[in-house]
Structure 1
Amino acid sequence: MTEEEYYNMLLLTDEEVEEVHSKHMRSYYSAVEEFGNKTSLTSTDMGFLMVAAVLQTLRWVFFGKDMQRFEKASDADKTFRSIGEKINNDYLPATVRSIGESLISHTVPYDAIKRSERFIGIYDDMPGLSGTNHRYKAIGHDPLAGLIFGTANIATNTLTVNDWTSAFPSYHVKEQRIDGKTDLYHVMKWTGEILQDKPEVIGAALARQVAHCCTDMFTTQGLPIPVINVISPEFSGFLVGQQIDVWGTTKSASMAILINKLIEMCHRLFYNPGEDLKLYEVRTRKILTYSNTLSSLINVGYVGATRNVKKLDVGGILVTLWRLLNDKEKIRKIKREFVNMTLDGELKKEEDEVNQQLARWGFSI
């Protein structure tokens, strides 16, 4: 037999190639079906799913976004001031204590809503700030943007209005009254100069910014949701009016995550050591994803039927979306590993059979 004849003998015909492909696909679909069977929810899993869905639903029904809030900003200031004074008096050195007392006791310039007589006599400009809208109209109140602009306002005694269409109008503040006009460029320029000459002032301003946002976050007016607040202050104001703010969203999301973690730990107690742990993890993830989705759908349906937007469980819905995306990817990865391992096992089995056949013929690999 020539080398060419031997080579041609090793080549597969079209029919043989089709047969090998069909066999491989049958093995693949069989592995996929086996994965589905082994990760399908049992009666015990369904019990966990219903309990989790009920807990998630009771969470947004009874723990409203208006709970754990101060009625007035001054109440929050008093509470945090008492905590700060205790820390200053008991633990911090005198030099730092004096800075801490000034941070806790003083207001911030971007809380100013009244105009001075001087401003009224010179300018026709109307900042358009009031007690009801300054939380989303003053960019210093934005939880993220405020870290930069709010700190700059505190350091320079200025106020910047959250209006990107007008290049963020800014004003001088004197004795908590709007006293003159400036612009964002100069506010940031002065802040840079202070940072070079007296960086401790910027550090103190940043600390005051964080402390002020912490107190405002727990009040009835709340703090606006970042990003949305900068893009559309008016829409952000509507959301704040419906208590869809930083505290309400964070609280509901935290409680949803806590319930998920409790269900996950309890479900793990029913794990049989004889099972594949990764396949059991898939069932746990299905329980959490399905229960969160069910609760969120009930919530959206309830809000749509009652028109009560304050009951919209934004935090819970965000957790649901995260689980849908994250768990789907995790399950896909575990499924891929399972199928590949199954196919590799079958291939190894076929390889062993071939080696055994060759051994009977006197060949060894």
Structure 2
Amino acid sequence: MSQFRYSKDEYDINRILKLNQDISNEISNDYELHEQRNDADANIESTKSLLIKLGKKKDIDRISTEIDNKKGNRKLNYRPIIQDWETILSDTAGEYSKKFVLEDIMSNTEINESMYEYNAINAQFSAKTSIINKRDLSFLAIATALQVLKTLLFPYVSKKFGYGDSFNPDDRLAHNDKSIEAEHRNANDRFKDHFQERYKPGYWINMLYQTPPYDITSGSKDLGINMGGKAHRMYTLGHDPILGWLFGTANILTDCITFNSFANHRVSRVDPLTAKKKMLITAEQVPLTMMFKESYDMCRADKLNLPAAVFAQALHYKSDIFTKMGLPVPLLSSFNESFASKLYDDHYDALCLARDMKIIGASFIISKVIDIIITLTHGLFNNDNEPKDLYEVRTRKILLISNSIASSSTIINALITKNLCNLDIGIVFNTISGLFSNIRFIYKIKEEFVMSEISDRLQKEIDELDYLFNNI
């Protein structure tokens, strides 16, 4: 069992390393080759001794000098054929098909020495990117002070813009206010008049003027469905400011109502017994897949059905959003109905959320601007003697530390005061986004640095081998 994990490419490299190791061991343990080499060396020495006795010492010295001078340029007459990587892998697929690990190739001592060298390179990277000099520490202190000061001021500034406040229903219009109904009717008339000149009348006109199916509440009690009375908007996905564009539009096309539990029921507009007009949620359940299939069929049946449904959905949003009940916080009721219900009962709606999101967004932008100022200013102090990438790692570490301290301070403040409005969510978002981008960048630079150092050390060994290889 190896102490390391390997990718497929690393297993291939291990296989070739094992092959080279076996070939090297075979050569070094070849007794006949060793004897032939010793015999050749002995013959050369005996020949030189004989020539010296014959008075040829000067000639031997001259030839030896010429040979030494040609060592750098002398090439082998017969060079080994260097195969490409894929060919070598293919040739070793049989005998060396086993998944070799480093323990099969290196001894524990060699592995420990390699790990020591790897750790030394990591320590070298840490030393080069540590925030230990006065300049970096000064920038860290400034960045931290700016971000922490912003988080401390956030509760006071944001409160002036109504952050976290609910709305006052007395400042809103009733859902059946005459002005809303008149504007709604006029908008429908303009839409109808615009298209009726060029297209024949159809069901699309009905969708404009009839009550949207998700506004119908009759029949829900008989089915055991809680629609919250006047707060029914929270329990239907047609009123969800985000999901409503999909489910509300589909409901209008198919006369269905989709609840926040994703249960889907057919809506009837005529009493089947008396044939009189009566809007009612029926017991007929319609699978969501069938509703969307019917929506697709309706879109194909008349090219104005979809535009009319989307227009009706948008107009319904517009008429509901500024009323006393408003529109619920998007998505929440489908995942946490009790919390969504509490917010809705406390008159915290989609408009309140939109206002708070703008404040959070402004806070995020201010934190990001501080980061940009620190990055640009710190970058001005870089000199040509220091690699740009390593210097930027130090810059990003300054940002990570300062943002983390500021985020911790605002979280602690919110916990101590037990007031969620004191939490500067903008700096928290900035810190989280920085964790992903900056840590990924630092890891990438570190990996390049380690690989570069290993390559440099390996290249020195390769150069030595090439020198010996070319001068045999």
Q: If the length of structure 1 is used for normalisation, what is the TM-score?
A: 0.67
Deviation at 1:350, TM superposition (A): 4.1
How many Å separate the matches in 2 of 1:301 and 1:36? 33
- Verify the 8 A CA contact 1:137 1:161 in the aligned structure 2: yes
Is 2:362 the counterpart of 1:264? no
SS of the residue corresponding to residue 309 of structure 2 reads helix
In the alignment, what sits opposite 1:95? 194
- Verify the 8 A CA contact 1:264 1:284 in the aligned structure 2: no
Is 2:236 the counterpart of 1:138? yes
Deviation at 1:54, TM superposition (A): 2.5
- Verify the 8 A CA contact 1:225 1:236 in the aligned structure 2: yes
- Verify the 8 A CA contact 1:160 1:171 in the aligned structure 2: no
Find 1:37's aligned residue among 121, 125, 131: 131
Find 2:301's aligned residue among 179, 197, 213: 197
Q: Which runs of 5+ in 2 are unaligned?
A: 1-25, 31-104, 200-204, 271-275, 383-390
In the alignment, what sits opposite 1:147? 245
How many Å separate the matches in 2 of 1:37 and 1:77? 66
Find 1:4's aligned residue among 8, 19, 28: 28
Post-superposition CA distance 1:235-268 (Å, at most 9, x none): 4312323456544344333322322223322443
In the alignment, what sits opposite 1:46? 144
In the alignment, what sits opposite 2:406? 291
- Verify the 8 A CA contact 1:155 1:205 in the aligned structure 2: yes
Deviation at 1:4, TM superposition (A): 0.5
Backbone CA RMSD of aligned residues? 5.1
In the alignment, what sits opposite 1:27? 121
- Verify the 8 A CA contact 1:139 1:145 in the aligned structure 2: yes
Label 1:321 to 1:51 Cα distance change in 2 as closer, same or farther (>3 A).
Answer: closer
Q: Within 5 Å, which residues of 2 pair with 1:44-83?
A: 44-58=142-156, 60-62=158-160, 63-66=162-165, 71-72=172-173, 74=175
Is 2:355 the counterpart of 1:251? yes
Label 1:345 to 1:125 Cα distance change in 2 as closer, same or farther (>3 A).
Answer: closer
How many Å separate the matches in 2 of 1:33 and 1:217? 58
Q: Quick check: which has more Rg, 1 or 2?
A: 2
Q: If the length of structure 2 is used for normalisation, what is the TM-score?
A: 0.54
Identity of counterpart residues, as a percentage? 14
In the alignment, what sits opposite 1:237? 341
Label 1:273 to 1:12 Cα distance change in 2 as closer, same or farther (>3 A).
Answer: same
Deviation at 1:25, TM superposition (A): 0.9
Amino acid at match of 1:181: T
How many Å separate the matches in 2 of 1:66 and 1:244? 7
- Verify the 8 A CA contact 1:77 1:215 in the aligned structure 2: no
SS of the residue corresponding to residue 230 of structure 2 reads coil
Label 1:352 to 1:262 Cα distance change in 2 as closer, same or farther (>3 A).
Answer: same
Is 2:440 the counterpart of 1:330? no
- Verify the 8 A CA contact 2:265 2:284 in the aligned structure 1: yes
Post-superposition CA distance 1:51-79 (Å, at most 9, x none): 33134433554432447886236599968
Post-superposition CA distance 1:109-129 (Å, at most 9, x none): 43345x5xxx89xx9667654
Q: Which runs of 5+ in 1 are unaligned?
A: none
Deviates more, 1:218-227 or 1:16-25: 218-227
Find 2:395's aligned residue among 259, 277, 280: 280
Find 2:284's aligned residue among 162, 183, 204: 183
Find 1:212's aligned residue among 316, 325, 346: 316
SS of the residue corresponding to residue 37 of structure 1 reads coil
- Verify the 8 A CA contact 1:285 1:327 in the aligned structure 2: yes
Deviation at 1:50, TM superposition (A): 1.5
Deviation at 1:37, TM superposition (A): 2.0
SS of the residue corresponding to residue 267 of structure 2 reads strand
The count of aligned residue pairs is 341
Deviation at 1:333, TM superposition (A): 1.6
SS of the residue corresponding to residue 269 of structure 1 reads helix
Amino acid at match of 1:64: Y
How many Å separate the matches in 2 of 1:52 and 1:16? 53
Amino acid at match of 1:284: L
Label 1:71 to 1:35 Cα distance change in 2 as closer, same or farther (>3 A).
Answer: farther
Amino acid at match of 1:27: I
Amino acid at match of 2:142: T
Amino acid at match of 1:343: V
Amino acid at match of 1:229: S
Post-superposition CA distance 1:196-242 (Å, at most 9, x none): 32241232112221343355445563433444423554443123234
Label 1:216 to 1:176 Cα distance change in 2 as closer, same or farther (>3 A).
Answer: farther
Amino acid at match of 1:205: A
Post-superposition CA distance 1:20-62 (Å, at most 9, x none): 4213213213423543427776221122222331344335544
SS of the residue corresponding to residue 183 of structure 1 reads strand
- Verify the 8 A CA contact 1:144 1:226 in the aligned structure 2: yes
